[in-house]
């Protein structure tokens, strides 16, 4: 069902609070802005500003997809003291790569690969880069952020400990759920994060506990790696993540952003 809008709105840049969604209706994929229970379609992508079309859809009538398909993902290890559990704190950010092919969206299954015996969820705030970013200072870093989404850095622990690289431990297919929305103009320094497995809380932290905050991460990474629009920075996880098994439902909730829910199935 399409609700017509009588007058098309003028182009405006993203600079106020918005919930941006990437979605599908029948065979068409597009971006929109969620307002109450409706999705207002935009002409292009949010990385070039917001220009509305004449189409508005009930939120219940669209399929919500992963909010971006990034060219690259960088994720932070050891960025909460509660996750380090007594080990020495790092003296600098410790990012690693996750592959874009590991991305899935709201409601899509996390698939446990054969041979991955202990797989855990990791609830994280994810930064969505809004424009090309190279050698940004810490003071400039937030100018390159479009917004934030929920993320789950799914991790196969035996492979993480036993392999030289973390390629399959962190980037197996479906190991990077993100969504449901990109939320703009929120304070990334004071956000509560929860993880639940089958409704039971297994993680809870606040981004004020980050050892290296978002501006520091963007500056550190962009000093040597150019970040492109739509690229993602997973900011790290807290505490002791929970093991996930076939039949579980994992939720990552971030204050002011939303709830990312994914079922878990065996390969």
Pairwise CA distance, residues 213 & 79, whole Å: 9
Name the one residue in this structure whose structure tokens are 């050891």. Answer: 78
- CA angle, 176 as apex, 174 and 180 as ends, to 5°? 105
Domain boundary among 13, 30, 64: 64
Residue 255 shares a structural domain with residue 152: yes
* Mean per-residue pLDDT, 107-121: 98
User: How much is the pLDDT for 2?
Assistant: 41
Residue with tokens 């990385």: 47
Average pLDDT over residues 174-193: 98
User: Are 93 and 210 members of one domain?
Assistant: yes
110 and 172 part of one domain: yes
pLDDT at 119 over 50: yes
52: domain CATH number is: 2.30.30
Asked if residue 125 and residue 40 are part of one domain, the reply reads no
* Average pLDDT, integer, range 192-202: 98
Do 256 and 237 lie in one domain? The reply is yes
What was the pLDDT predicted at 86? 79
Whole-number pLDDT of residue 14: 58
- pLDDT reading at 7 higher than 60: no
* Same-domain pairing of 128 and 21: no
For residue 92, count CB atoms less than 10 angstroms from its CB and return exposed for 0-12, middle for 13-18, buried for 19 or more: exposed
User: Is the pLDDT assigned to residue 96 strictly greater than 70?
Assistant: yes
Q: CA quadruple 203, 209, 210, 214: dihedral positive or negative?
A: positive
Residue owning tokens 């759920």 = 177
123-157 tens-digit pLDDT: 999 999 999 999 999 999 999 999 999 999 999 99
User: Residue 219 is part of a domain; what is its CATH number?
Assistant: 3.90.850.10
| Residue 224 confidence (pLDDT) above 90 | yes
In this structure, the answer to whether residues 86 and 49 fall within a common structural domain is no
Instruction: Summarize the confidence of residues 240-252 as an average pLDDT.
Output: 98
Taking 90 as the threshold, does the pLDDT of residue 261 lie above it? yes
Q: What percent of the chain has a predicted confidence (pLDDT) above 70?
A: 94
pLDDT of residue 5: 40
**Is 90 exceeded by the pLDDT of residue 184?**
yes
Is residue 66 scored above 90 in pLDDT?
Answer: yes
- pLDDT of 88 > 60? The answer is yes
The confidence score (pLDDT) of residue 87 equals 84
Kind and range of the H or E run holding 264: strand 258-266
Residue 50 in this model has a pLDDT that exceeds 90? yes
pLDDT at 12: 44
- How many folded domains does the chain comprise? 2
What residues are paired with 266 via a beta bridge?
112
Tell me the pLDDT of the chain averaged across its residues. 94
Q: Same domain, yes or no, for 59 and 115?
A: no
- Identify the pLDDT of residue 154: 99
pLDDT surpassing 50 at residue 159: yes
Q: 16, 38, 64: which is the final residue of a domain?
A: 64
Range(s) of the domain holding residue 9: 3-64
Same domain? 50 vs 77: no
Q: Where are the alpha helices (DSSP H) in the chain?
A: 81-84, 157-162, 167-171, 214-222
pLDDT at 127: 99
Same domain? For 198 and 220 the reply is yes
CA-CA distance, 221 to 141, in Å (whole number)?
A: 11
Same domain, residue pair 37 and 133 = no
Tell me how far apart the alpha carbons of residues 105 and 93 are, in angstroms, rounded to a whole number.
27
Same domain, residue pair 50 and 78: no
Q: Which residues on neighbouring strands pair with residue 177, listed in sequence order? A: 104
Residue 11 has pLDDT above 60, yes or no: no
């Amino acid at each position: 069902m399409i609700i017509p809008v009588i007058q098309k709105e003028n182009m405006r840049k993203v600079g106020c609070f918005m919930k941006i969604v990437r979605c599908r209706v029948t065979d068409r994929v597009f971006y929109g802005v969620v307002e109450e229970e409706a999705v207002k379609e935009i002409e292009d992508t949010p990385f070039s500003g917001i220009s509305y079309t004449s189409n508005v859809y009930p939120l219940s009538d669209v399929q919500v997809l992963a909010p971006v398909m990034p060219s690259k993902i960088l994720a932070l290890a050891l960025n909460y003291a509660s996750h380090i559990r007594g080990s020495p704190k790092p003296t600098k950010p410790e990012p690693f790569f996750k592959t874009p092919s590991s991305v899935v969206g709201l409601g899509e299954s996390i698939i446990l690969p054969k041979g991955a015996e202990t797989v855990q969820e990791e609830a994280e705030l994810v930064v969505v880069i809004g424009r090309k970013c190279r050698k940004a200072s810490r003071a400039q870093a937030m100018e390159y952020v479009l917004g934030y989404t929920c993320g789950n850095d799914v991790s196969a622990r035996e492979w993480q400990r036993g392999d030289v690289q973390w390629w399959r431990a962190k980037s197996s297919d479906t190991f990077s759920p993100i969504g449901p929305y990109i939320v703009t103009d929120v304070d990334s320094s004071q956000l509560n994060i929860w993880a639940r497995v089958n409704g039971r809380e297994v993680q809870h932290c606040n981004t004020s506990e980050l050892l290296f905050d978002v501006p520091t991460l963007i500056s550190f990474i962009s000093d040597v790696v150019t970040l492109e629009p739509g690229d993602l920075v997973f900011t790290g996880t807290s505490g002791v993540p929970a093991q996930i098994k076939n039949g579980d439902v994992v939720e990552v909730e971030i204050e002011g952003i939303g709830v990312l829910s994914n079922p878990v199935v065996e390969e």
